[in-house]
């Protein structure tokens, strides 16, 4: 028993264990094995196989859980499919009541769920009790609101159907909430697979669904490992896959779903920068580091794991960090005075150890808390690497443990360069008392979430998700709802008729006839008309098979040159929306001065004079539409915490590849290229292969319309070949493809490389002359990614 004197000397907390009797009783009730939750019933695995679940704080087995087979997944998908018609047809208000009832029950069971989560995952009870579970309840309340407002706020949108959802082990119940709440609010039904390390709170949630009276089959939970997840991904009757986990598995899922028509959102890994400027409140920033990398044992996809410290304050800051690290208490997650709990599993602990060893082998200096670690269970001391290089493994790889790396920088320019020097782009943190500098840095971060003078803040009202290899799609906020909705017009589109036309040939046209307009269109790269690298052109035929000219046969080298030119034109994204609008208006103005010429070209291709004139007029109007939208499709301020503005900004992707379909040669081109550049992207566009000449005629319009060099690049040639090169290219951040269903599948598969965002026509025919189909906010949404910047205010 410590004396008062000794307690006063150390000011240390004594142990304060949280009781877990209710949980052990509950686990005992299920001693024979937890079952899947399918169609409102708890059912055993079809082959009766179970797997063990461990308490990471002791290494002891605490439960046995059904291992999902292909048949189990199929049964769950069928149950979800059966429940879909009536659930999706419920008025939003009725669904809101269900979500509200779930939120209430979660709140009533907060303590139970918190203790269970800590026992299953190893996270300190302080975190599960004060962060995870309250956020879970908040998520269901928030999305009860979207269910209520769906009909008025998302007019013209409807649910997707059955959603397959696969979640990781780091925030088990919170990730479930992030997935299930928006899916149900939008009117979908779900099959969710929890992570194999941490399935228990999902099963407790299944009990809550029953108690809340949720109709059978609306939520189904199938437990199991990666193989079970793969069955869900590959199931033909699933309409959407939402995944959170490692980038490796994200890539596998991208490739597996390619061409299936399944909507996909991926929330993957990160190596997020944590920038400390020399004018920062250093003590606050030290607490920030505690929350950034030692919170949840660093097992956080958006953990601020790369500390970038301005040189002048680096020694002082590191000294403060070392002191603070020593005061962190590591131990039993159920002890209320513990800061750092257990690592989720022995395999994960092993992975952390290996990466840390590699860091030392590569010359890094490891600073580690001298705290005593419990004798049992999977624990790792809070750690910090210094003396590391930007290319070191520990600087580049996600460690997913309580290990930060620290580097220094001199200027804000250097900080931004280092921060963005990663293949990931999930989150970033900036500490500075100079709000101008902090916001300027935030704007330049290639990351989906940026916290200013704070870190790891989450709320249901703000979207969360990544750039680059951290995935695509957002969870939370209005933006997150779109991941579970489809516009009615998209669903109603017919399939592209099997057409295609003959392969492009560099040989002279077979037909002796000639329409008389003989000009060889070049490519348009970096603002210049250039010959194709191949030196070849192909004959462009009209609908009667008569040659009406030649177009360059572009190849991969031309695409690479075009991407390089587009990369260099980065100033376009920084131009004001007003400036971009002016350029678009100017394009429209110059096109209207040449209506007769363009209509003549379309007529020569085989259109009637009337239809040709209409297409040119429609193109002008479409350009006006996107000029108008350039400064109107703006972001939001989300209502998250008090004394905090959370800015949701629409940012361009950067370089986009656009492959046009075969319909409406001019209007189809304009309909895809204009929204992309209106939002600040630079594009490499491939016009319809068989009638590219209306698009190539636009070169002269571009040249006279103040379009900066490299903003629009046009490469003609074989769509599928050029699409492959664009999909493979790491500089291309987003790809739009219009073509056959097989072509869609090919680009989605190839895009798995750098996990670029893709938007394809899914083999459907877009009628560009239909105003509801051919233009709208859908295009702008696909041309932008949302960055949420959190800015606290007040002293
Ligand atoms: P993981 O990506 O393998 O597991 C995440 C989920 O995906 C689990 O439910 C798992 O069963 C499932 N899964 C695995 N393979 C699958 C497949 N082929 N098809 C469908 N589902 C599949 O992550 P793991 O192995 O648990 O952790 C490895 C590393 O991944 C960690 O060290 C960390 O770096 C990273 N990670 C990142 C997370 C994040 O939130 N971004 C979460 C978990 C892990």
* pLDDT (mean) for 755-762: 96
Give the helix/strand (H/E) hosting 26: helix 21-29
Nearest to 159 by CA among 254, 232, 263, 82: 263
For 71-112, the pLDDT digits (tens) are 999 999 999 999 999 999 999 999 999 999 999 999 999 999
**What residues contact 638, with CB distance under 8 A and at least 6 apart?**
459, 461, 462, 463, 477, 646, 647, 648, 788
The CA 167 to ligand 1 mean position distance, Å, reads 8
Helix H or strand E segment including 66: strand 61-66
pLDDT at 490: 87
Ligand 1 centroid, distance to 245 Cα (angstroms): 4
Side by side, the strands of the sheet bearing 732-737 are: 528-530, 523-525, 712-714, 682-686, 655-659, 732-737, 757-760
What's the mean per-residue pLDDT of the chain? 95
Assigned token pair, 418: 């280092």
180-183 long-range Cβ contacts below 8 angstroms, 24+ apart: 180/219, 181/99, 181/139, 181/140, 181/142, 181/143, 181/460, 182/143, 182/146, 182/475, 182/476, 182/480, 182/481, 182/483, 182/484, 183/240, 183/242, 183/484
**Pick from 459, 559, 469: which is nearest to 142 by CA?**
459
Among protein residues, the one with the nearest Cα to ligand 1's atom 32 is: 400
**How many CB atoms lie under 10 A from the CB of residue 41?**
14
Is residue 401 within 8 A of residue 299, CB to CB? The reply is yes
Residues 511, 545 contacting (CB under 8 angstroms): yes
Residue with tokens 């949280």: 18
Whose alpha carbon is nearest atom 27 of ligand 1? 246
CA of 249 to the centre of ligand 1 (A): 6
Q: Which two tokens stand for residue 68?
A: 């999902």
- Taking only the tens place, the pLDDT of each residue in 304-332 is 999 999 999 999 999 999 999 999 999 99
Three-class HEC string of 309-370: EEHHHHHHHHHHHHHHHHHCCECCCCECCCCECCCCCHHHHHHHHHHHHHHHHCCCEEEECC
> Choosing from 267, 398, 475, 720, which is the catalytic residue?
267
The CA-based diameter of the chain, rounded to the nearest angstrom, is: 106
- Predicted pLDDT at 509: 59
pLDDT of 512 strictly over 50: no
Per-residue pLDDT, 520 = 83
Lookup result for tokens 């007029």 = 617
Q: Which of 178, 238, 249, 466 gets mutated to test ligand 1 (max ligand atoms within 8 A of its CB)?
A: 249
Give pLDDT tens digits for 117-146.
999 999 999 999 999 999 999 999 999 999
3-state helix, strand, coil in the chain (%, to 5): 45, 20, 35
> Is 617 a residue of the active site?
no
pLDDT digits (tens, 9 = 90+) for 246-256: 999 999 999 99
Confidence (pLDDT) at 498: 66
Which of 223, 301, 302, 660 does the annotation list as catalytic?
A: 301
Give the mean pLDDT of 203-210. Answer: 98
Supply the DSSP string of 81-95, one letter for each residue: HHHHHHHHHS-HHHH
Mutate to test the pocket of ligand 1, among 245, 252, 254, 470 (most ligand atoms within 8 A of CB): 245
Span from the CA of 713 to the centroid of ligand 1 (angstroms): 39
pLDDT number for residue 113 = 98
CA-wise closest residue to 521 among 371, 691, 340, 324: 691
Residue nearest to atom 16 of ligand 1 (CA): 226
The neighbour count for residue 155, using CB atoms within 10 Å, is 9
Encoded tokens for 512:
């002796």
- Residue 281: closest CA among 325, 322, 326, 316: 316
DSSP β-bridge partners for residue 461: none
Summarised one tens digit per residue, pLDDT across range 597-620 is: 999 999 999 999 999 999 999 999
Q: Among 134, 109, 129, 106, which residue's Cα sits nearest to residue 118?
A: 129
Q: How far apart are CA 690 and CA 662, in angstroms?
A: 7
Q: Mean of the pLDDT values across residues 59-67?
A: 98
* Beta strand extents in 432-483 (DSSP E only): 449-452, 471-472
Question: Would you place residue 495 in the very low, low, confident or very high pLDDT band (cuts 50, 70, 90)?
Answer: confident
3-state secondary structure (DSSP) of residue 499: coil
Q: How far apart are the first and last CA of the chain?
A: 42
Q: Is 133 exposed, middle or buried (0-12, 13-18, 19+ CB in 10 A)?
A: buried
Burial class (CB in 10 A: 0-12, 13-18, 19+), 429: buried
3 state DSSP class of 744? helix
Residue 505 has pLDDT above 80, yes or no: no
CA distance 229 to 252: 11
Residue 638: its H or E element: strand 636-638
Distance (angstroms) between ligand 1 centre and the Cα of 504 equals: 44
Per-residue pLDDT of 670-723, as tens digits, reads: 999 999 999 999 999 999 988 899 999 999 999 999 999 999 999 999 999 999
Asked if residues 423 and 469 have their Cβ atoms less than 8 Å apart, the reply is yes
Q: How many CB atoms lie within 10 A of CB 152?
A: 8
pLDDT at position 501: 63
CB-based pocket (< 6 A), ligand 1: 166-170, 193, 195-196, 225-226, 229-230, 233, 244-246, 249, 252-253, 268-269, 301, 348, 351, 398, 400
Q: How confident is the model at residue 562 (pLDDT cuts 50, 70, 90)?
A: very high
Q: What dihedral angle (degrees, nearest 10) is formed by the CA atoms of 43, 47, 53, 59?
A: 150
- Indicate whether this model's pTM tops 0.85: yes
Can you state the angle between helices 556-568 and 719-728, rounded to 10 degrees? Answer: 50
Nearest to 174 by CA among 267, 249, 94: 267
Q: With helix as H, strand as E and coil as C, how does 165-230 read?
A: EECCCCCHHHHHHHHHHHHHHCCCEEEEECCCCCCHHHHHHHHHHHHCCCCCCCEEECCCCHHHHH
Ligand 1 atom 9 nearest Cα? 195
Calpha distance 580→586 (Å, rounded): 10
What is the band of 518 on the pLDDT scale with cuts at 50, 70, 90?
low
Between the alpha carbon of residue 465 and those of residues 107, 470, 630, the distances in Å are 26, 7, 24
Query: Is 744 one of the catalytic residues?
Result: no
What is the bridge-based pairing of β-strands 157-159 and 732-737?
A: unpaired
- pLDDT per residue as tens digits for the range 638-673: 999 889 999 999 999 999 999 999 889 999 999 999
Looking at residue 329, its pLDDT comes to 95
State residue 636's pLDDT score. 96
As a residue count, the chain comes to 795
* Closest residue to atom 43 of ligand 1, CA basis: 245
Q: Ligand 1 centre and the CA of 773: distance in Å?
A: 38
């Amino acid at each position: 028993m410590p004396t008062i004197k000794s307690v006063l000397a150390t000011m240390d907390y004594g142990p304060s264990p949280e009781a877990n009797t209710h949980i052990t009783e509950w686990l005992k009730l299920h001693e024979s094995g937890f079952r899947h939750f399918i169609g409102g019933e708890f059912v055993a695995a079809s082959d009766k196989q179970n797997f063990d679940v461990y308490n990471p704080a002791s290494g002891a087995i605490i439960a046995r859980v059904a291992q999902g087979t292909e048949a189990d997944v199929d049964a769950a998908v069928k149950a979800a499919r059966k429940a879909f018609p009536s659930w999706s047809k419920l008025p939003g208000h009725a669904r809101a009541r269900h979500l509200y009832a779930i939120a209430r029950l979660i709140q009533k069971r907060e303590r139970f769920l918190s203790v269970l989560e800590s026992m299953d995952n190893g996270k300190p009870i302080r975190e599960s009790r004060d962060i995870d579970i309250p956020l879970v309840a908040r998520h269901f309340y928030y999305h009860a609101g979207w269910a209520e407002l769906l009909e008025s706020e998302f007019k013209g949108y409807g649910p997707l159907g059955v959603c397959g959802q696969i979640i990781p082990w780091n925030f088990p119940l919170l990730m479930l909430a992030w997935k299930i709440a928006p899916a149900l609010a939008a009117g979908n039904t779900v099959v969710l697979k929890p992570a194999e390390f941490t399935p228990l709170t999902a099963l407790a949630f299944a009990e809550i669904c029953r108690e809340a009276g949720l109709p059978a089959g609306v939520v189904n939970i199938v437990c199991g490992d990666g193989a079970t997840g793969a069955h869900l991904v590959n199931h033909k009757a699933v309409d959407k896959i939402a995944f959170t986990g490692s980038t490796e598995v994200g890539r596998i899922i991208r490739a597996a779903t390619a061409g299936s028509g399944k909507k996909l959102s991926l929330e993957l890994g990160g190596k997020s920068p944590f920038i400390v400027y020399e004018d920062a409140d250093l003590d606050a920033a030290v607490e920030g580091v505690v929350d950034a990398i030692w919170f949840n044992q660093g097992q956080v996809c958006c953990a601020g794991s790369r500390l970038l410290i301005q040189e002048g304050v680096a020694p002082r800051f590191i000294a403060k960090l070392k002191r603070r690290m020593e005061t962190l208490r590591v131990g039993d997650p159920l002890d209320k005075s513990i800061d750092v709990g257990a690592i989720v599993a022995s395999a994960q602990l092993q992975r952390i150890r290996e990466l840390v060893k590699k860091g030392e082998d590569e010359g890094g200096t490891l600073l580690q808390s001298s705290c005593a670690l419990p004798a049992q269970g999977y624990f790792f001391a809070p750690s910090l690497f210094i003396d590391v290089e930007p290319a070191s493994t520990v600087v580049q790889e996600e460690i997913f443990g309580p290990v930060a790396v620290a580097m220094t920088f001199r200027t804000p320019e250097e900080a931004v360069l280092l921060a963005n020097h990663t293949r990931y782009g999930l989150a970033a943190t900036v500490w500075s008392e100079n709000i101008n500098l902090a916001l300027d840095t935030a704007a330049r971060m290639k990351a989906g979430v940026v916290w200013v003078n704070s870190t790891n803040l989450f709320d249901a009202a703000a979207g969360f998700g990544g750039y680059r290899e951290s995935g695509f799609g957002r969870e939370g906020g209005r933006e997150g709802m779109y991941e579970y909705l489809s516009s009615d017009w998209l669903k109603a589109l017919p399939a592209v008729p099997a057409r295609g036309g003959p392969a492009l040939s560099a040989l002279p046209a077979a037909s002796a006839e000639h329409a008389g307009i003989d000009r060889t269109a070049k490519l348009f790269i970096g603002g210049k008309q250039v010959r194709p690298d191949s030196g070849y052109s192909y004959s462009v035929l009209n609908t009667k098979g008569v040659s009406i000219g030649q177009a360059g046969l572009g190849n991969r080298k031309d695409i690479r040159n075009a991407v390089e030119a587009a990369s260099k034109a980065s100033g376009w994204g920084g131009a004001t929306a007003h400036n971009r609008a002016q350029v678009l208006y100017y394009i429209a103005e110059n096109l209207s001065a040449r209506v007769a010429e363009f209509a003549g070209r379309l007529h020569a291709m085989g259109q009637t004079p009337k239809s040709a004139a209409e297409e040119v007029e429609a193109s002008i109007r479409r350009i006006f539409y996107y000029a108008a939208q350039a400064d109107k499709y703006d972001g939001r301020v989300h209502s998250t915490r008090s004394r905090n503005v959370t800015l949701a900004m629409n940012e361009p992707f950067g370089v986009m590849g656009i492959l046009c379909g075969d319909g409406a040669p001019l209007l189809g081109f304009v309909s895809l290229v204009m929204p992309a550049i209106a939002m600040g992207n630079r594009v490499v566009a491939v016009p319809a292969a068989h009638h590219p000449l209306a698009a190539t005629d636009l070169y002269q319009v571009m040249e006279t319309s103040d379009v900066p060099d490299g903003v629009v690049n046009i490469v003609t040639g074989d769509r599928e070949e050029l699409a492959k090169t664009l999909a493979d290219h790491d500089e291309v951040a987003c790809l739009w493809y219009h073509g056959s269903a097989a072509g869609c599948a090919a680009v989605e598969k190839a895009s798995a490389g750098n996990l670029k965002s893709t938007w394809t026509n899914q083999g459907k025919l877009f009628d560009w002359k239909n105003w509801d189909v051919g233009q709208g906010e859908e295009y702008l949404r696909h041309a932008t990614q949302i960055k949420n910047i959190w800015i606290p205010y007040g002293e």
